[in-house]
């Protein structure tokens, strides 16, 4: 079964085995090179010592060498794998260890050849000679030829030591391979255990069980991020599902009343209970208009929240925008004896979608007018702070209770449940305004105190790239 766990174990094991084999091969090669260098250096040092011993056997008075001493030196050299042959220029001395121990010399070469080929079957070696001059007072008086198995040879003890080291490396390599497999299994379990939990959570989500979570004790950062992402997605889906249910309930509630009124009025007129008088037809028409407004506002909110409508960012003269907006509220403000003032300098520029920004400001001012009693006042202010443009609408209305503040941007939410549709609106305006501000990568804040008033503040980035700010002002 090609599970992630098995793949991780297999991959880790293959990589570990490859590394261990490579390291073992390098170590083995290093050992061979070390012993090769050791054997060559040792032989060269032996030859140097033999030459010094031969020089010590020279008798200047007699002008010749001590034959007995040479014989001792030659026999000692043979024991160390070196075959010595010495000859003077005048041929007074012609000493060759092969003349005395020919059989031992043959056995020496054969034994060395057998040892080397037992270790290295393809070893290219054989009998080799090196010749050195004998000098006295810078005059060549003879030569010494050293024969040996070359380019190098190892004795039985050295080969046994190399074999022992290789066995140790083999055992350690095998132990590391087993250990790596065990570690691979443990690591695979550690990695895949939270993933299995994620799979279970994802399957539960697929079945409609939103809000389920996977919990971790400890795991790699990537796995922890995956689990956190799944948990956040689960929570988001749960909130979205709850929101859908709430929206469905709210829409049904908002549509039920006008539809019921229309149905009862139409049935009464059809049955002849009521005459289709103009006032009754006007009432029916008003309900139809309200139904249409609800549908249009919901459609607009959907388009903005789901980025189905493209914002056209430009530099907008907010002073001109607010002047035009306040003209629309001039009559109703006069009727309610509400004073609306603006604190906006000429040429105050904001980077936004002019149409959507205007719509959002209208919603805030309309809301302020509805909840501000006669004799109150409304102040619209524009200011720049750091990298933000701040648009505030402050009223002296009834205020919003603290427990209602977290919900005022929800669809169809009304602070005063007793208000009717004529006085309290549909409860969608603030939701639309917040969606517009969010689409501008801005922030909509509210400060309110009961019986003193409410202040809404729109915070928009001043630079020409909505969505890039990191902190709210």
Nearest to 145 by CA among 78, 72, 96: 96
User: 315-371: per-residue pLDDT in tens?
Assistant: 999 999 999 999 989 889 999 999 999 999 988 899 999 988 998 999 999 999 999
282: exposed, middle or buried (Cβ count in 10 Å: 0-12, 13-18, 19+):
exposed
Between CA 461 and CA 436 the distance in angstroms is 14
Pair 392, 457: CB distance under 8 Å:
yes
Pair 365, 325: CB distance under 8 Å:
yes
Between CA 395 and CA 447 the distance in angstroms is 11
Between CA 277 and CA 406 the distance in angstroms is 45
The token pair at 163 is 């074999």
Pair 340, 333: CB distance under 8 Å:
yes
Higher pLDDT, residue 271 or 467: 271
Pair 311, 353: CB distance under 8 Å:
yes
Residues in the chain: 473
User: 179-231: per-residue pLDDT in tens?
Assistant: 888 888 887 777 777 777 777 777 777 777 776 777 665 556 766 777 788 77
The token pair at 197 is 């939990």
Between CA 460 and CA 465 the distance in angstroms is 11
What are the residue ranges of helices labelled H in 306-353? 318-328, 330-335
The token pair at 249 is 């309930």
The token pair at 132 is 């050195």
Between CA 204 and CA 230 the distance in angstroms is 11
User: 165-190: per-residue pLDDT in tens?
Assistant: 888 888 888 888 888 888 888 877 77
Transcribe 369-428 into DSSP letters: HHHSPTT-EEEEEEEEETTEEEEEEEE-SS---GGGGGGTTSTT--SSTT--HHHH--S-
Nearest to 442 by CA among 346, 317, 313: 313
Instruction: Report in angstroms the alpha-carbon separations of 66 from 71, 138, 412.
Output: 9, 20, 124
pLDDT score, position 368: 92
User: 3-29: per-residue pLDDT in tens?
Assistant: 767 777 788 788 888 888 888 889 888
Give ∠ CA 336-341-346 in degrees, rounded to 5: 150
Pair 146, 82: CB distance under 8 Å:
yes
Instruction: Report in angstroms the alpha-carbon separations of 343 from 16, 382, 393, 426.
Output: 73, 6, 10, 29
Q: How confident is the model at residue 292 (pLDDT cuts 50, 70, 90)?
A: confident
Pair 59, 65: CB distance under 8 Å:
yes
Transcribe 13-36 into DSSP letters: HHHHHHHHHHHHHHHHHHHHHHHH
Say if residue 466's pLDDT is above 50: no
Between CA 130 and CA 149 the distance in angstroms is 11
Percentage, residues of the chain above pLDDT 90: 30
Pair 114, 106: CB distance under 8 Å:
no
Residue with token string 């205007």: 358
What are the chain's domains?
4-170 (3.30.450), 229-309 (1.10.287.130), 311-461 (3.30.565.10)
Percentage, residues of the chain above pLDDT 70: 89
Residue with token string 């009464």: 268
């Amino acid at each position: 079964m090609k599970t992630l766990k098995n793949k991780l174990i297999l991959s880790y094991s293959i990589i570990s085995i490859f590394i261990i084999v490579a390291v073992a091969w390098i170590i083995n090669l290093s050992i061979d090179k070390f012993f090769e260098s050791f054997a060559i250096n040792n032989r060269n040092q032996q030859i140097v010592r033999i030459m010094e011993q031969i020089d010590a056997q020279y008798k200047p008075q007699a002008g010749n060498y001590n034959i007995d001493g040479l014989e001792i030196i030659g026999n000692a050299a043979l024991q160390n794998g070196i075959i010595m042959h010495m000859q003077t220029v005048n041929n007074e001395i012609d000493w060759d260890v092969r003349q005395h121990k020919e059989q031992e010399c043959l056995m020496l070469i054969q034994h060395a050849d057998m040892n080397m080929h037992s270790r290295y079957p393809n070893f290219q070696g054989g009998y080799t000679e090196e010749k050195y001059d004998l000098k006295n007072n810078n005059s060549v008086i003879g030569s010494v030829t050293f024969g040996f198995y070359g380019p190098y040879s190892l004795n039985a003890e050295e080969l046994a030591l190399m074999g022992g080291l290789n066995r140790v490396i083999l055992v350690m390599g095998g132990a590391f391979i087993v250990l790596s497999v065990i570690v691979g299994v443990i690591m695979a379990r550690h990695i895949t255990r939270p993933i299995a939990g994620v799979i279970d959570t994802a399957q539960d989500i697929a079945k409609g069980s939103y809000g389920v979570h996977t919990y971790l004790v400890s795991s790699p950062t990537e796995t922890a991020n995956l689990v956190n992402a799944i948990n956040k997605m689960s929570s988001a889906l749960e909130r979205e599902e709850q929101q859908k249910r709430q929206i469905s309930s709210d829409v049904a509630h908002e549509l039920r009343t006008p539809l019921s009124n229309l149905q009862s009025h139409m049935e009464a007129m059809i049955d002849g209970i009521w005459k289709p008088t103009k006032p009754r037809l006007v009432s029916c028409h008003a309900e139809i208009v309200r139904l249409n407004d609800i549908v249009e506002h919901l459609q607009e909110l959907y388009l903005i929240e789901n980025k189905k409508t493209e914002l056209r960012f430009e530099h907008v003269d907010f002073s001109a925008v607010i002047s035009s907006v306040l003209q629309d509220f001039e009559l109703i403000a006069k009727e309610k004896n509400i004073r609306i003032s603006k604190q906006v300098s000429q040429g105050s520029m904001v980077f936004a979608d002019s149409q959507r920004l205007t719509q959002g400001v209208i919603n805030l001012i309309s809301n302020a007018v509805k909840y501000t009693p006669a004799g109150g006042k409304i102040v619209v202010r524009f200011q720049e702070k750091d990298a933000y443009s701040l648009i505030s609408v402050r009223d002296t209305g009834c205020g919003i209770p603290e427990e209602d503040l977290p919900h005022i941007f929800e669809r169809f939410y009304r602070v005063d449940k007793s208000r009717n549709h004529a006085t309290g609106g549909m409860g969608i305006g603030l939701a639309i305004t917040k969606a517009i501000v969010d689409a501008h990568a801005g922030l909509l804040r509210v400060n309110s105190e009961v019986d003193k008033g409410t202040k809404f503040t729109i915070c928009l980035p001043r630079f020409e790239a909505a969505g890039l700010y990191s902190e709210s002002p």
